[in-house]
Structure 1
Amino acid sequence: MAADTSAPRAAASPRLSQPWILTYHSVSDPTDDPYGITVSAERLDEQLTWLRRRGLTAVGVAALLRGRAAGRRGLVGLTFDDGYADFLDEALPVLARHGCTATVFVLPGLPGGSNAWDPLGPRRPLLTEDGIRAAAGAGMEIGSHGMRHRDLTALSDDELRAETHSSREAIRRLTGTEPAGFCYPYGTADRRVLASVRDAGYAYGCALAPGPLLGPLALPRTHVSHADRGARLRAKEVRHRLRHRTAAAPARRTRGEA
């Protein structure tokens, strides 16, 4: 069954408490990981176990926003950026064991490609079109990461429109559902980029440290690495609550969003 990806048009204020959303990338062998964006399936299992023991259930971002709008507590957002092929064999079984779902932000312009944007490697395969459909069929929310993982702030207006509008249409053709969410490659966005995402029809956007752009189209997230266990996760949760419960912090680009 495909996930219900509808999301409310949140009227979130930068001065309201922001939902806690965790950011993952590849789930595979983390030994060759120059960017710190890979966790093993065993460590993912341990991290989800920690969340469940604290009474938290991990869900996709659209489900998280719907739950918050309905007053539901105990939800945390779970996202996987770039749409790595290992999501199906490594991450999905762990999520199923814990009764969790997630948002997978994919690159419909690079089906079956690789993370060529990471100069240090290692090269990891991306989901094929069939893989994207399989993730959606397993109940995962599919969101857009743009077409080809480009710095959106450096693009012309026409190129930006292709990354935001065309990627949404491409995902709709693949899955039969228009994606509700967009995730900014490299965590890089500005007001022009947010305007294009809004114009494309997305209900929400995900960043890492959105600074003054904080709001429904620039939701903050917490990068999770293989080194994160209970104490580190708790510290990151506390930091998130403190940082995003009042005014937005200054913008800062973070490599963790890849």
Structure 2
Amino acid sequence: MMSRRDALARALRQRARRHRRRGGILMYHCISEETYDPWAICVSARAFDDQMAVLAQARAVVDLAAFAGGDAYSRTGAQLAVTFDDGYVDNLVVALPVLERYEIPATIFVIGNAVGRTREFWWDGLQRALMSGEPLPDRLDFPFGDGQRAFSVNEQPGDIEANARWRADSGEISTSRQALFRALWDAIVVLEPTEQDDAIDYVLSWAGRTSTPPTSRVAVDAEQFSRLADHPLITLGSHTLDHVSLTDLPAERQHAQISAGHRKIEELSGSRVTRFSYPYGRFDDSSLAAVRELGVDVACNSVPMPAIASDDPHALPRVQATEMDGDQFTRWLREDHGLLRGQRL
């Protein structure tokens, strides 16, 4: 969770950017409805349609490539690009028909080894195990990571409603499930990919949940990937081989994950890939060097602010769109980020 000092520093940086030539890169993940969504990565199909309608009415959308140079930036923040992370199947099944309706181009950053996987991403498995509202055992002995750890679950009246409202990146922890979720997330994110799978299987079994994920919460398979790759509105980018936390790896491992994931997406798509996204938004000098070595045109992180003309095109910030109707979305863009200031909607 962000400290008060960090939140203030970010607010000051955002305010300063309102007076610079700027543009917005929107970040999406899943287009689906979830009651419990700790990272706010799900946007319903209805809200997504509303948001794309706003962009279409404002004639605001540009392809992400415009952010590689100076073409996307203006004093009113009038141009925005649409991006998705991870490569969920709903990007094809739910989001693409909306993009087609409004003729909006989008970039989808795909995890190399996720294509064709039949299991859910580990963070979705953790959410399903802990935050679904179903009863949990009172104690968890977690044997993964730096030695076995024990956690207690002590449910209180009102916890279910509090968990549904809670956001893991900004909300104060007020229930034992929230504390357990955040502790396990922080422990699992730094594990090796195979260990992450083992840890999630363990937690799902402990919680009494099925190991079979919802069909809507898996990544595209090879045929679905090809349909995205061939679509005129979609440009595919890479998102590492295994969606690792790059800043928790040494430089050589970072380089291997970035380059191997990039090659995998190029092999699957049959074309050169010129876009990249840092998993969890985490990057450092070693990550930047590896991405620049690939010769990509643009790379995105997850720092929640508009991009400005002086930003490094290999470390561009993005604003994460959440569950909002069209009016809320417009106010959020204008008031929180200084975007679409010159458009009449």
The answer to whether the superposition gives a TM-score over 0.5 is: yes
**CA-to-aligned-CA distance 1:100-159 (integer Å, 9 cap, x gap):** 110001001122332114463345201122222211111201011111111111112332
Residue of structure 1 aligned with 2:105, choices 101, 107, 110: 101
**Amino acid of the structure 1 residue aligned with 2:106:** A
Which of 265, 286, 306 is the matching residue for 1:192?
Answer: 286
Tell me how far apart the structure 2 counterparts of residues 207 and 18 of structure 1 sit (CA, whole Å).
16
1:197-256, CA deviations, whole angstroms, 9 ceiling, x for partnerless residues?
A: 101221111012289x942111111100113542344333443348xxxxxxxxxxxxxx
Q: Quick one: distance in 1 between partners of 2:335 and 2:73? A: 24
C-alpha distance 70-148 of structure 1, shift in aligned 2 (>3 A): same
Q: Structure 2, unaligned stretches of length 5 or more? A: 1-16, 129-212, 340-345
2:46 to 42, 47, 52: 42
Among 66, 71, 78, the alignment partner of 1:68 is 71
Q: List structure 1 segments (4+ residues) > 4 angstroms apart after TM superposition.
A: 63-67
Distance of 2:276 and 2:106 partners within structure 1: 14
1:1-258 aligned within 5 A: 17-57=21-61, 59-62=62-65, 65=68, 68=71, 75-113=79-117, 114-118=120-124, 120-122=126-128, 124-139=217-232, 140-209=234-303, 214-227=311-324, 229-241=326-338
- Which range moves more in the overlay, 18-27 or 224-233? 224-233
Q: Which moved more, 1:183-192 or 1:153-162?
A: 153-162
Report how many aligned residue pairs link the two structures: 226
Structure 2 distance, partners of 1:192, 1:66, is 23
Give the partner amino acid of 2:244.
R
Counterpart CA distance in 2 for 1:69 and 1:89 is 29
2:69 & 2:100 partners in 1: Cα distance?
21
Partners of 2:29 and 2:289 in 1: CA distance: 26
C-alpha separation in 2, matches of 1:87 and 1:135: 9
Alignment-mate amino acid for residue 39 of structure 1: V
Q: CA deviation at 1:16?
A: 5.7
SS of 1:177 mapped into structure 2: coil
Q: Cα–Cα, structure 1 residues 205 and 64, in superposed 2: closer, same or farther, change >3 Å?
A: closer
Change (3 A) 1:151 1:214: farther
TM-score, length of structure 1 as denominator length? 0.78
